[in-house]
Structure 1
């Protein structure tokens, strides 16, 4: 080495892998069947992580002008379950969530999540507030836990088609869980809602590759063998955090 020349070593990391719909479904099935994660366990992990991400994106100290109110909209599927668990953890974190759950599942697991929220004194609405009511009732943000893995806005049925139309017009921030409702899992959004925050579960999906808002990842719990199999190239989570903001890595 010539005099005065310094050698530096730069750590390189392969780019984060964005999942296709088939990969996301297959990975979750493996977690359930091969790794013996239960649906309740996954829901609790994700619900807590989503509440943590929301608290990072919208800290209580930044909401001092109004009550820290959050409207959590839940569908009847897995994303709705995560939304219910998220609402309960938000309540524990001293936020004031309200749930709109228009098409409740009859499965005992979903009913248990509902009871848990009710026992935490979280109110349930019987109707979706209008755009004006959403603003005037001083909701700070809306959590979108409606549809999850869907193939597009055109597949939304009532009452959810109407809900998505309302969410497309509101000015308060939207936080979407895993996939913004109405988005194609593998394509960029062209006519759906525009969340300010996206919280990807497991790993980000292909539709999130060009997302411009705050993007959090809740996948730290994934077994290393599964991460390697799907070549996820997961980021290094700081400290004991269960989530990481992808725009910061």
Structure 2
């Protein structure tokens, strides 16, 4: 089956619905999203390939998903390192950060330098709400991810990509093509431009809500929070 995509406005409305009539808290949604992200990393990059995961964290909810994923990865036995240059004052993000500090997970200020010793990169900078230009200090980070030979997994959207139209035609991110993408809840229209390994994660949506927003809930197996689909939207 081909999976229907969810545009930026619909994705934002869905989030509001999940937190109102759906009765989820933002903490819950972020925890479930981050858990699914951690399972993708575990699937595509077993710890035997190298334990060092560099997590690039943005200032919004996409970054929060990355912080949660890093905590789970640490408990799986990986050695995550966090690049988190723009930290919001919001209490939720402060708690997620404290949880990582309590696990002695290092935070670094120099992304290109940290990249030299990484085995895998998790791109949790910008999600479906991103639009406009990439502001400092992220242009150099996205360029570094575009140029590295180290595999990159992006959360919900490759950072800098337009949710509808995919990679920018020029400038920052125009040559950024991550190896792996995990679409949260449902794929976004940009997936038609994505050629790597594609997963859907977010095993919590009620059928009634999926029907209202006209997207498909994939068939998750066993304990899995993720399902692999072809980049073109076909299930493998």
Tell which deviates more after alignment, 179-188 or 202-211: 202-211
1:204 and 1:235 mapped to 2: Cα distance?
A: 11
3-state DSSP of counterpart to 1:155: coil
> Map of 1:6-25 to 2, 5 A cutoff?
13=1, 15-25=2-12
How far off its partner does 1:209 sit? Answer: 2.5
How far off its partner does 1:237 sit? Answer: 1.4
What CA deviation, in whole Å up to 9, does each residue of 1:93-142 have, x standing for no partner?
A: 11110001001111111000000001111110022234xx623x2x1111
How far off its partner does 1:197 sit? Answer: 0.5
TM-score by length of 1: 0.86
Q: Does 1:215 align with 2:202?
A: no
How far off its partner does 1:33 sit? Answer: 1.5
**Counterpart among 115, 129, 146 of residue 134 in structure 1:** 115
Q: Does 1:199 align with 2:199?
A: no
Determine the structure 1 residue equivalent to 2:107: 124
Contact conserved, 2:207 with 2:217, CA < 8 A, in 1? no
Q: Does 1:88 align with 2:71?
A: yes
Determine the structure 1 residue equivalent to 2:54: 71
1:166 and 1:211 mapped to 2: Cα distance?
A: 19
Determine the structure 2 residue equivalent to 1:148: 127
Contact conserved, 1:53 with 1:243, CA < 8 A, in 2? yes
How far off its partner does 1:163 sit? Answer: 1.5
Determine the structure 2 residue equivalent to 1:60: 47
Contact conserved, 1:150 with 1:183, CA < 8 A, in 2? no
Gaps of 5+ in 2: none
Runs (4 or more) in structure 1 with deviation over 6 Å come to none
Contact conserved, 1:73 with 1:100, CA < 8 A, in 2? yes
Determine the structure 2 residue equivalent to 1:181: 159
How far off its partner does 1:240 sit? Answer: 2.8
Determine the structure 2 residue equivalent to 1:27: 14
3-state DSSP of counterpart to 1:239: coil
Aligned length: 227
Contact conserved, 1:102 with 1:127, CA < 8 A, in 2? no
What CA deviation, in whole Å up to 9, does each residue of 1:137-158 have, x standing for no partner?
A: 2x11111000112555x61101
What CA deviation, in whole Å up to 9, does each residue of 1:56-102 have, x standing for no partner?
A: 111123x1xxx410100101100111110000000011111000100
Contact conserved, 1:179 with 1:200, CA < 8 A, in 2? yes
1:107 and 1:150 mapped to 2: Cα distance?
A: 18
TM-score by length of 2: 0.91
**Counterpart among 34, 38, 48 of residue 35 in structure 2:** 48
1:129 and 1:236 mapped to 2: Cα distance?
A: 38
1:183 and 1:237 mapped to 2: Cα distance?
A: 27
How far off its partner does 1:168 sit? Answer: 1.8
Tell which deviates more after alignment, 211-220 or 108-117: 211-220
